[in-house]
A = this chain, B = another copy of it.
Amino acid sequence: MAKKAEALTSAYDELMAKAKEITILQTAESIIHWDMETKMPPKGIKLRSQQLALLSRIEHRMTTHPEIETLLSKTEKHPDYDTLSELQKRNVYLTRKQYDEQTKLPEELVVETAKQQAITIDVWKKAKAAKNFSTFKPELEKLLTLKKKAAKILMQVKATATPYDALIDIFESKMTAEKIARIFEELKKGLVSIITKCTNASKQPDTSFLKRNISLDVQQKISNELAKFMGYDVESPKAGGRIDETEHPFTTGYYDDVRITTHYYEDNLASSLFSVLHESGHAIYEQNLKPEWIYQPIGTGCSSGVHESQSRFVENIIGRSREFWVYFFPKLNELTGNAFSNLALDDFVRAINHVRPSKIRVEADEVTYCLHVIIRFEIERQLIAGEIRVADLPEVWNRKYNEYLGVDIKNDSEGVMQDIHWAAGAFGYFPTYALGNIYSGQILISLERDMPKWRHQIEEGNFNDIKKWLVQNVYQYGNLYDPAVLIKKTTGVEINVKPYLEYLNTKCSWIYGY
């Protein structure tokens, strides 16, 4: 019996050693990706796509190595399997899931996809700068073909109803397009009602001063100050983070090496300000995962939706709150050489919370934001189903923007080419942005219950206790649960749009006085 148990432990440990190697390789790949987006000389793209393809091939071989099947079987079929802890079982489950999915994907498809992704991102950048969809189109078509092939294979393994569901599952485990469509229906109705009240309000916030020129230098200092507030260390000699510049802000990294990016526009301080808060929200999640889970499958964020709930929580629920600006407005004035000193705090808060349908998702206000996401969800659902083609994208996009947001898209750079996601092959990712918002509303209710004085703490510039609460209620669980389970655990209820809508409505009724 002791010997048997030993065999189980040793098979499990060996399995975890393999998982560790895979994780380490993935973290190396993400450095290479980060470099491609931030530092790589433009000419390097061809070599880079070869590097990424090779690393994908190596990763694929590691994740599908027959030894993993042997170790998995030994573990799963062991008579003492039930003696494994909940954590260990989850690790086995996640390794099995990855193994089963990856073994079904042909190596050439994986390699080809990695190579094409690097190329499509590069072409997207140039096409976006040149406002020319026609150069982007053929590369996106190639990538879409590869992604659809993978989706069809994954649909079998994951036993999802559609290929698109298989893609969603990569980012939000066990979520389906049908469920999302239902949720988004309710969300959309609620948002449209709030938007109508806001746009009909007699008194509209003045936002003109947000266009004041603030030098990039100063904006960088503000970014560092925001990072400091969050406890996202980018400056000390023991720093675990960075802030760099990219066209499209993102977060990458793992535990002690986490990196965010932002984009500075001289005439749009709010852009870098809220993107830094947003990405820092992702970053502190990664940095505060359980240290002892490092290199294990459970040692990552739960899902893209849950990750987004954290970034949006920090960006909006904290970062656009009046309380945060009670603390930060004087600092902002200090750092900008009193650029906003002739302004009342409340007018500033109103401005950063204004609601106005617009064209660019990452610049969108909090209320209209999810409509941008819903449009992308509807389009990619049809795209993967083959109901629309890549060539149709601009027309479909522009029509929906006109219909949902009442805006007139003038060119594809402010239209269908505004985001990197499809160029990077991340179909199925977009809906998680809205799911994250919805989760954040539920999480707010739990926070209010546990820490009724949280707003007061924020006024005093103390984010630390809230972070501790987030560690306790979200971060510490890593990838121990599927997102639906975690959200139930943290908020006591299933996914539910009402808290988020209510949060928005309360704030807007103050801003717009309706």
A41 at interface by CB-CB < 8 Å: yes
A319 at interface by CB-CB < 8 Å: no
A241 at interface by CB-CB < 8 Å: yes
A255 at interface by CB-CB < 8 Å: yes
Contact at B242–A43, with CB atoms within 8 Å? Answer: no
Choose from B28, B48, B58, B242 the contact partner of A257 (Cβ within 8 Å). Answer: B48
A256-B49 Cα distance, complex, nearest whole Å:
13
Least CB separation from A61: chain B residue: B58
B-contacting residues, A12-50, CB 8 Å: 21, 24-25, 27-28, 31-32, 35, 39-44, 46-48, 50
Contact at A51–B32, with CB atoms within 8 Å? Answer: no
Chain B positions within 8 Å of A35 at CB level = 31, 35
A378 CB, nearest partner CB in chain B, Å: 35
A254 at interface by CB-CB < 8 Å: yes
Contact at B28–A239, with CB atoms within 8 Å? Answer: no
Chain B positions within 8 Å of A474 at CB level = none
Chain B positions within 8 Å of A484 at CB level = none
A21-B54 Cα distance, complex, nearest whole Å:
7
A302 CB, nearest partner CB in chain B, Å: 21
Chain B positions within 8 Å of A25 at CB level = 51, 54, 58
Which of A31, A32, A55 has most B Cβ within 10 Å? A31
A240 at interface by CB-CB < 8 Å: yes
Chain B positions within 8 Å of A359 at CB level = none
Total identical chains: 2
A260-287 vs B, CB cutoff 8 Å, 1 = contact: the mask equals 0000000000000000000000000000
Contact at A51–B28, with CB atoms within 8 Å? Answer: yes
Chain B positions within 8 Å of A312 at CB level = none
Chain B positions within 8 Å of A28 at CB level = 28, 32, 51, 54-55
A258-B42 Cα distance, complex, nearest whole Å:
11
A35-B244 Cα distance, complex, nearest whole Å:
13
Known: A27-B51, A51-B24, A51-B28. A43 touches B239 (CB 8 A): yes
Contact at A241–B41, with CB atoms within 8 Å? Answer: yes
Contact at B255–A47, with CB atoms within 8 Å? Answer: yes
A237 at interface by CB-CB < 8 Å: yes
A48-B58 Cα distance, complex, nearest whole Å:
18
Chain B positions within 8 Å of A255 at CB level = 47
A241-B42 Cα distance, complex, nearest whole Å:
9
Least CB separation from A46: chain B residue: B256
B-contacting residues, A462-512, CB 8 Å: none
A266-B47 Cα distance, complex, nearest whole Å:
36
Chain B positions within 8 Å of A32 at CB level = 28, 31-32
A48-B31 Cα distance, complex, nearest whole Å:
10
Chain B positions within 8 Å of A238 at CB level = 42-43
Choose from B24, B42, B242 the contact partner of A39 (Cβ within 8 Å). Answer: B242
Contact at B27–A237, with CB atoms within 8 Å? Answer: no
B-contacting residues, A221-248, CB 8 Å: 234, 237-242
Choose from B43, B48, B242, B254 the contact partner of A47 (Cβ within 8 Å). Answer: B254
A41-B242 Cα distance, complex, nearest whole Å:
7
Least CB separation from A50: chain B residue: B24
Chain B positions within 8 Å of A307 at CB level = none
Contact at B240–A43, with CB atoms within 8 Å? Answer: yes
A350 at interface by CB-CB < 8 Å: no
A285-B459 Cα distance, complex, nearest whole Å:
58
Chain B positions within 8 Å of A254 at CB level = 47
Chain B positions within 8 Å of A31 at CB level = 31-32, 35, 51
Least CB separation from A25: chain B residue: B54
Contact at A240–B51, with CB atoms within 8 Å? Answer: no
A259 at interface by CB-CB < 8 Å: yes
Contact at B40–A257, with CB atoms within 8 Å? Answer: yes
A51-B255 Cα distance, complex, nearest whole Å:
14
Chain B positions within 8 Å of A21 at CB level = 54
Chain B positions within 8 Å of A241 at CB level = 41
A255-B44 Cα distance, complex, nearest whole Å:
8
A25-B51 Cα distance, complex, nearest whole Å:
7
A39-B258 Cα distance, complex, nearest whole Å:
12
A118 CB, nearest partner CB in chain B, Å: 12
A313-344 vs B, CB cutoff 8 Å, 1 = contact: the mask equals 00000000000000000000000000000000
Contact at B237–A41, with CB atoms within 8 Å? Answer: no
A179 CB, nearest partner CB in chain B, Å: 37
Chain B positions within 8 Å of A257 at CB level = 40-41, 43-44, 47-48
Given contacts A31-B51, A43-B239, A43-B256, 4 further A-B contacts (CB under 8 A): A24-B50, A35-B35, A41-B242, A42-B238
Interchain residue pairs with CB less than 8 A apart (13): A24-B50, A28-B32, A31-B31, A39-B242, A40-B257, A41-B242, A41-B258, A43-B239, A43-B240, A44-B256, A47-B256, A47-B257, A58-B58
6 closest A-B pairs by beta carbon, nearest first, are A44-B257, A43-B240, A43-B256, A28-B51, A41-B239, A24-B54
